[in-house]
């Protein structure tokens, strides 16, 4: 039975908000009486880096989820399940973020980066499956076909690009993190901007 998408969006917004809030809990306050506070705060740079990177990713995923449901006007049971799978990935992000924060700059950083990138590969796949299901089942607003086509093109790159980050993490963790930043910027771009770039 098809329903309106308002409750899906409201529930999803809540899950995104919880996931993005949990990230800050991994940044610990240095204990008092254990040396210079400024030095102790600076030593936590991996936690700051992981926090800001994941904050950006979750925020941009929320933006893209909002864009998707601006186009999706109807839902069904399968769409609900696919949206839950996407949210499963989103709510898991604080864990690989914490692992990356603890192990960045240590011998375990490669494994931490592989875990971190692997989670985003899965999320990118879930994003694509959800969107392409909505397109294939004609659950979209028919008046927004042009921008929907641009979203389809933009999302198609996701799994491959995050898989590339995963492979690069095996070779060089720092380059992998830099590529993650580039990806965050790419997926933050509105489809309308990409459409204008194609027309020039």
The radius of gyration computed from the CA coordinates of the chain, to the nearest angstrom, equals 19
* pLDDT score at 99: 95
- Residue 87 CA to residue 20 CA, distance in Å, equals 12
* pLDDT score at 106: 92
Q: What is the pLDDT of residues 106-134, one digit of tens each?
A: 999 999 999 999 999 999 999 999 999 99
* pLDDT score at 141: 86
Inter-CA distances, 109 with 27, 96, 97, 159, 176, Å: 18, 11, 12, 22, 11
* pLDDT score at 50: 92
List the domain boundaries for the chain.
6-199
- Residue 43 CA to residue 48 CA, distance in Å, equals 10
Task: Say if pTM beats, i.e. exceeds, 0.85.
Answer: yes
Angle, CA of 189, 96 and 156, to the nearest 5°: 35
Three-state SS across 12-77?
A: HHHHHHHHHHHHHHHCCCCCCCCCCHHHHHHCCHHHHHHHHHHHHHHHHHHHHHHHHHHHECCECH
* pLDDT score at 199: 53
* pLDDT score at 1: 39
* pLDDT score at 151: 84
Residues in the chain: 200
- Residues lower than pLDDT 70 in the chain: 1-3, 191-200
């Amino acid at each position: 039975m098809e329903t309106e998408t308002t409750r899906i969006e409201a529930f999803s917004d809540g899950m995104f908000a919880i996931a993005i809030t949990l990230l800050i809990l991994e940044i610990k306050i240095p204990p008092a009486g254990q040396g210079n506070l400024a030095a102790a705060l600076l030593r936590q740079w991996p936690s700051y880096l992981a926090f800001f990177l994941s904050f950006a990713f979750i925020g941009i995923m929320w933006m893209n989820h909002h864009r998707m449901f601006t186009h999706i006007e109807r839902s069904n049971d399968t769409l609900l399940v696919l949206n839950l799978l996407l949210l499963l990935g989103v709510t898991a992000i604080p864990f690989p973020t914490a692992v990356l924060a603890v192990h960045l700059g240590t011998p375990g950083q490669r494994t931490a980066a592989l875990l971190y990138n692997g989670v985003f590969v899965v999320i990118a796949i879930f994003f694509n499956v959800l969107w392409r299901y909505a397109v294939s089942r004609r659950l979209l607003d028919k008046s927004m076909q042009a921008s929907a086509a641009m979203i389809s093109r933009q999302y198609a790159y996701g799994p491959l690009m995050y898989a590339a980050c995963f492979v690069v993490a095996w070779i060089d963790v720092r380059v992998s993190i830099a590529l993650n930043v580039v990806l965050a910027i790419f997926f933050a771009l509105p489809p309308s901007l990409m459409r204008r770039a194609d027309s020039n």
